[in-house]
Structure 1
Amino acid sequence: MGKKSHSQDAQEPAEGISRRGLFIGGSAAAAAAVVSGTAAASSASAASSPAYTSAAHGGDGDLLFVNGRIHTYDDANSVVDAVRIRDGRFIAVGKDAIRVGNAKNKIDLRGRTVIPGIIDSHNHIALVSNRPGHWVGLEDVFTHEDAVARLVAKAETVPEGELVTSLGPIVAMQFPSNTLPNLTTLGQVPRPVMIMAEQGGNAVNQAAVDYFAAKGITITINAAGYPTGSGIGLALQRLRQEMTDAERERNAKATLDYYATLGITTHLDEGAFHVDTPGTAIWNENAYTLHRGFLALDAKKALPVRVRFDYLEEDSTLDLPRLTERLKNAFPFFGNDMLRSGGIGEFTVRGFGGGSAPIGGPVWLAGAKAVAQAGWRNENHSLSATDINQIVAGWEAVHAEVPIDGLRWVVSHVPNITPDHVNRLKAMGVGVKVGWGPTRNGSNLGPRHRMLLDSGIPVGYHSDGGDITAINPWLNFYTMITGRNLAGTFTWAPGEQVTRDEMIRLATKDNTWFIREDDLGGIKVGSHGDLLVLDRDFYAIPDEEIPRVRSDLTVVGGDIVYDSGKLPGDRRWAHGTNHRYNQLT
């Protein structure tokens, strides 16, 4: 095979979105009406007022923020006191923001801290969006009492006899006891409740035990008040069998709304382990219907935040049946500002845990070569010294035949990466993603952040949450800044932590390299108007407060998509042009 070169500008995003361009065999049919989901402790409702834009109203639709500490993460790392958004983009930053339009529609920040919208460049948000029941996020509560209060508030919006769920993004380590609320504690919730944690077990109340018993599924409870045995998995499987497209759409909206309260304005989803029919594990889903909820919301212009996704392939034979069809019949970086496809990841083929096509083996190498020949981005994860050795050597072999520089290939997690690996990856134009740490235990669990940042290799932030760990960025930021997990265990050597400024940069400006969208990730003229008004000064608070940071106001493309109501002022005029405004009280 002759050599093929790729320019740095390869794979520029295309506009428009089609079923063929998104996935093979999946349906893009919109579901029935969107049912409002929960974000904090209550329901979210879409605005019903007419679109109100500056183009139609002589600048009255501008969104002007003044009197803040606005960390721009522009090229100069400026901190300014004002910014103006018009027609979805920043049009002025600093003092110019006050001069370039009228000041009728402004928000006085009163010294609040503002940062760009957070980009999570590798998570499993689509898995979360496909979980059944009336889903509620619990990653930002830290006592059993607060978890129950959140569930009770959600239950008040749920019809009698229907199920409240929190499946996936919750970890037992959030709570001082390192346990979830048990059967007795959850008995305070006036609806059936089912919790399946990413780490730390599962939980139900008696109403849920009875709910599933009526479906012929027995959930056995142990002496401590927690489910034991296979019943909980079978219950999840039954719920998935009964899911409707309307339910997927509702929970996709609830999921994205919830993470908007925590400041994530762009998600890059890394797929699921494929099953043709519903399975019993929270990391399984049908890869061809995985995005239906997002597609339905996008068709209605109702996506509250930006979603990008990679295709996780699981071939085990040299003919690469899935990967070959994907590369022939789909387009990378295809879609629109709110929903866009990406590359191949987080596996080229099914090499996870050894599998039938291990990293470095002939099927994996054939897959990597096919991705390079097609000119697509490729992402693989590394969890061990063996993984990273094989990825670096394998990609070097591919690069020698089909150069991958310019394609922005990625290795994620990288706990065992060495300076030699970094130099070799950097020579191929490869980047690395770091994060995924708040629930880790043991030793040798985090990469050498200082070495990576000093090396000049592209480095970005990711949570990897949704099926094995937390998505909440502030939990992950806490670990990367302090080097400790949520239980307080020190997980890596002193000096390898990142500073707070470096942390936000990794999750904003630096992550644009990984999603190939330079007009995100910073507050600068011409970029998309995505920003967060934080509920406290992240740069000054004690370390112990970092996990509790939230957004008080989240803006995506100039639309207020989450408003805590804590900032003064009348914002009825700020309903977004895509009707994505949510008032959460």
Structure 2
Amino acid sequence: MFQRAFFIVLFGLSFNLQLLHSQSETQPAEIVLHNGVILTMDDNLTTAQAVAVSQGKIQAVGESTRILKLAGPDTLSIDLKGKTVIPGLIDTHSHVQSYAERTYGRALTAEQTRVYPINFRTVKTKEDVLNQIRQTLRAIQAPPGEWVHFSSRGLSEIDQVKILFDQLNRWELDKAAPENPIAMSMGIPIENGYLINGRAMDILWDKHKDFIEHYGRFWVNAAGEPDGHLEPPASRLVMIEFRPRPSARDLASIYEKTLEEWSAMGVTTVATKLHSEAVEAYQLLESQGQLKVRIAYGADWLFGVPGLDEALPAHPLELGTDKVWLVSATAVGMDGSGARQCTALERNNQAAGDEGTMGLALLGAWYPQGQCHLDIEYRGGSRGGPIRGNYYKDWLFQLAENGHRIANTHMAGDRTQELFLDILEQVDRQMPGSVEGWALDHCTLVNPEDIGRAARLGVVWSCAPKYIDSYSTIARAYGEEVARQYVVPVKSMIDAGIHVAFEMDRDSYIWGDLELLITRKVEGKVLGAHERIDRTTALKMITRWSAEYVLKEEEMGSVEPGKWADLVVLDRNYMTIPEEEISEIQALMTLLGGTAVYLDSGFAAELQLKPETAVVATYQSLRERHTRF
């Protein structure tokens, strides 16, 4: 099993906990919430009336009369008047930093991000792209030899994709930028694809020729020459070594706003994969006392680079603080989305169209079976060059050998998960127990036959209800039976003994996604009814089991003495309202480690409270700040 950062002697721990517990109940509480419905989510699913908080942790839980005895002259006592309190919600896979960059990114200039847009909405020919590159280079006056990065925006037509994938190459980019190394996104996440020019290729091949020629992946022309299109792990070398990094201060200013919105939903912890500069931005917010949500992160710089055996020991699991800590090394994606998700199933790209997350008609021609990164036979796209090894497989063995862990990693297609479990079974045979607690994220398409394999290995899933929204698209592409059996099969996983974690994986309203997980109802129709779960199980997923995913099951996930006081007061009783009203739940107050970080403006007026540490607003008013580009 992957190594944890602490070891305990059971007898000593038991004695010390009893001593601390007895002492804590003799000290005045800092906060007492009473006369409410406290859904503790403990082992017995106990419901209490009150909870006391002291020094950032739960001091006591129980009946109001007993807990009120802990109140002193300086205690903040709040009469809940029957309102419900739950543990803070934990989302195990949402790209909150990316949502911030999309919604508040106008606050950052291209000079700050150092990534310049190519507007494909105006592109009709490859020359249109080259002209935009020339104009940008003239405007920024990039000195010779300096890397310049471009993002491809507005790709929506097949002819535009053909220009980017088939007509543009290293030689064409050299015409526009003969003196600068150029890296251009391919309209998909940069982790999964870059287009670079000849200057950039010279730099990359000079430094990593052996690595790239062994592991790939690069596209070639008819003569077998690398044409500048890269897929991982080669594309990851560009991303990690040559990608521009905005300053932590610039990023923190926009990340803070998005975390305020998530806190207003009752979210107290988010797990996500991060670049190093994003980690620094969250650490900066923490140092300033402005971090409203705990960040459990996967380090994306621990993948796709030579010398990993030195890097992993320097980044042990749980490295960090109680607000920002490491939970995994992440490959970011074991495949792609839509047409790029790796599948063993027959699919009809044209029948699916381009709606939702699929995009099959647009990209299917280049990725007939998806980006199957775990497959040694997959060389990249439709014209990949030869490779000799599979970096992903070797990397997974390295993780196990170093006592590390994979999580926070995109795995969408059925074949990706099959191949992943194949490798993990090999790892487990050589190093028994080493993959326990490793995770697969999303549950987009899961072959039911793989669920038992994962359970035997002790591997878990983090599932996103949003893929239920894509049910009809998946049914058209793969058939109704596949959609019914493969899409977010949460109940089957739980029945197999797997502690499934909850992820939203989108910038949406978390209570709406929780309702979707429970009802599986889209436009009045229940989809995959046999995979429905009850609301207690759903709440367990988003609290206790998600706490396990982020390696903090002893510190969070339930309302119990000694755990962090991450608490949420709700405007209605989650357990008794109709299922169709769960999406309407509002958080009235969110406590992070016993500190109020969000307070609904109406509830604040009722309590006559306005703590300096809290954002006093409504979720709706915070969302109205959004601007997109």
**TM-score, normalization by structure 2:** 0.60
Report the counterpart of residue 374 of structure 2 in structure 1: 359
Alpha-carbon distance in structure 2 between the residues aligned to 1:351 and 1:132: 20
Displacement of 1:405 in angstroms is 4.1
Greater displacement, 395-404 / 322-331 = 322-331
8 Å Cα contact 2:56-2:595 kept in structure 1? yes
**What is the aligned partner in structure 2 of residue 476 from structure 1?**
513
The DSSP-based 3-state class of the residue aligned with 2:71 is coil
In structure 2, C-alpha distance between the alignment counterparts of 1:532 and 1:498, rounded to whole Å: 23
Structure 1 equivalent of residue 415 of structure 2: 386
Cα separation, partners in 2 of 1:533 and 1:358, compared to 1, 3 Å: same
- Pick the aligned partner of 1:329 from 297, 314, 319: 314
Could you say what secondary structure the match of 2:607 adopts? Answer: coil
Q: Deviations over 1:321-374 (max 9, x none)?
A: 275554243222111111111112254767773687712433221111011111
Alignment equivalent of 1:69, drawn from 24, 34, 37:
37
Deviation at 1:530, TM superposition (A): 0.6
Select the residue among 285, 288, 313 that pairs with 1:300: 288
Match of 1:376 among 395, 399, 404: 404
The 5 Å alignment of 1:200-239 reads none
Equivalent in the alignment of 1:11: 4
Q: One-letter code of the match for 2:393?
A: L
List aligned pairs for 1:186-197, cutoff 5 A. Answer: none
Of Structure 1 and Structure 2, which has the larger fraction of its residues in helix?
2
Pick from 411, 424, 430 the counterpart of residue 401 of structure 1: 430
When residues 241 and 330 of structure 1 are mapped into structure 2, their CA distance, relative to the original with a 3 A threshold, is: closer
In 2, are the aligned partners of 1:92 and 1:525 still within 8 Å (CA)? Answer: yes
* Structure 2 residue aligned with 1:456: 497
Q: Deviations over 1:294-331 (max 9, x none)?
A: 02112223212211100236966xxx527555424322
Contact kept? 2:5, 2:316, Cα under 8 Å:
no
- d(CA) in 1 for partners of 2:290, 2:29: 19
Point out where structure 2 has 5 or more consecutive residues left out of the alignment.
8-22, 110-135, 141-149, 155-162, 165-185, 191-242, 343-369, 377-389, 476-482, 619-629
CA contact (8 A) 2:276 2:301 kept: no
Q: Is the 8 A contact 2:29 2:70 kept in 1?
A: no
CA-CA distance at 1:491 after TM superposition: 6.4
1:39-54 alignment to 2 at 5 Å? none
Using the TM superposition, give the Cα deviation of residue 548 of structure 1 relative to its aligned residue in structure 2, in angstroms: 2.9
Structure with max Cα Rg: 2
Task: Tell me the secondary structure at the aligned position of residue 388 of structure 1.
Answer: helix
- Give the conservation status (yes or no) of the 8 Å contact 1:348–1:378: no
**Contact 1:405–1:429 (8 Å) recurs in 2:** no
Are residues 263 and 331 of structure 1, via their aligned partners in 2, closer, same or farther at CA, if it must alter by over 3 Å? same
State the distance in 2 between where 1:312 and 1:490 align. 39
Aligned partner of 2:607: which letter?
G
Percent of counterpart pairs with the same letter?
A: 20
What 5-or-longer segments of structure 1 have no aligned partner?
1-5, 15-54, 137-157, 164-211, 222-228, 272-286
Contact 2:302 2:312 in 1 (8 A): no
Identify the match of residue 99 of structure 1 among 33, 45, 69. 69
Alignment CA distance shift 1:493-1:348 (3 Å): closer
Equivalent AA in structure 2 for residue 307 of structure 1: I
Matched, 1:249 2:252: yes
Q: Deviations over 1:252-273 (max 9, x none)?
A: 11111110001110011123xx
Question: Are the counterparts in 1 of residues 59 and 561 from structure 2 also a CA contact under 8 Å?
Answer: yes
2-structure distance, mates of 1:426, 1:558: 36
CA deviation vs aligned residue, 1:104-163 (integer Å, no higher than 9, x gap): 42111111111110001122123234x177469xxxxxxxxxxxxxxxxxxxxx9xxx99
Work out whether 1:571 is the aligned partner of 2:609.
yes
CA distance in 1, matches of 2:286, 2:267: 18
Aligned residue in 2 for 1:121: 92
Q: Quick check: 1:425 aligned with 2:393? A: no
The verdict on how the C-alpha distance between 1:315 and 1:249 changes in structure 2, with shifts beyond 3 A counting, is: closer
Distance 2:403 2:299 in 1: 15
2:272 to 269, 275, 291: 269
* 1:504–1:341 Cα change, 3 Å: same
1:184 paired residue number: none
Gap change, CA 1:406 and 1:442, over 3 Å in 2: closer
Q: Deviations over 1:469-507 (max 9, x none)?
A: 33532122121111134xx26463213112111111100
Cα distance in 2 for partners of 1:357, 1:442 equals: 19
Give the letter for the 1:359 counterpart: L
Contact 1:348 1:364 in 2 (8 A): no
Distance 1:351 1:367, change over 3 A: farther
Change (3 A) 1:433 1:530: same
Rounded to whole Å, the distance in 2 between the matches of 1:397 and 1:526 is 39
- 1:557 lines up with 2:525 in the alignment: no
SS in 2 for 1:437: helix
Give the 3 Å change call, closer, same or farther, for CA 133–481 of structure 1 in structure 2: closer
The one-letter code of the counterpart of 1:571 is: L
**SS in structure 1 at match of 2:531:** coil
**Aligned-partner residue type, residue 491 of structure 2:** R
Closer, same or farther: CA 269–322 of 1 in aligned 2, 3 Å:
farther
In structure 1, what is the equivalent of residue 235 of structure 2? none
TM-score, length-normalised on structure 1?
A: 0.64
- Counterpart Cα distance in 1 of 2:84 and 2:598: 16
**Aligned residue number for residue 30 of structure 1:** none
CA deviation vs aligned residue, 1:26-59 (integer Å, no higher than 9, x gap): xxxxxxxxxxxxxxxxxxxxxxxxxxxxx9xx96
> CA 1:220–1:513 in 2, change beyond 3 Å: closer, same or farther?
closer
The question of 1:532 aligning with 2:568 is answered yes
Matching of residue 290 in structure 1 with residue 278 in structure 2:
yes
Q: Secondary structure at the match of 1:510?
A: helix
Pair 571,86 (structure 1): closer, same or farther in 2 beyond 3 Å: farther
AA at the equivalent of 1:262 = M
Q: Is the 8 A contact 1:412 1:434 kept in 2?
A: yes
Moved more, 260-269 or 507-516: 507-516
CA contact (8 A) 1:311 1:343 kept: yes
Pick one of 538, 549, 557 that aligns with 1:514: 549
1:68 and 1:108 in contact (8 A); partners too: yes
CA distance in 1, matches of 2:308, 2:585: 40
Q: Which range moves more in the overlay, 392-401 or 350-359?
A: 350-359
1:452 alignment partner AA = M
Q: How many Å apart are 1:384 and its aligned residue?
A: 2.4
Is the CA contact (8 Å cut-off) linking 1:348 and 1:368 kept in structure 2?
no
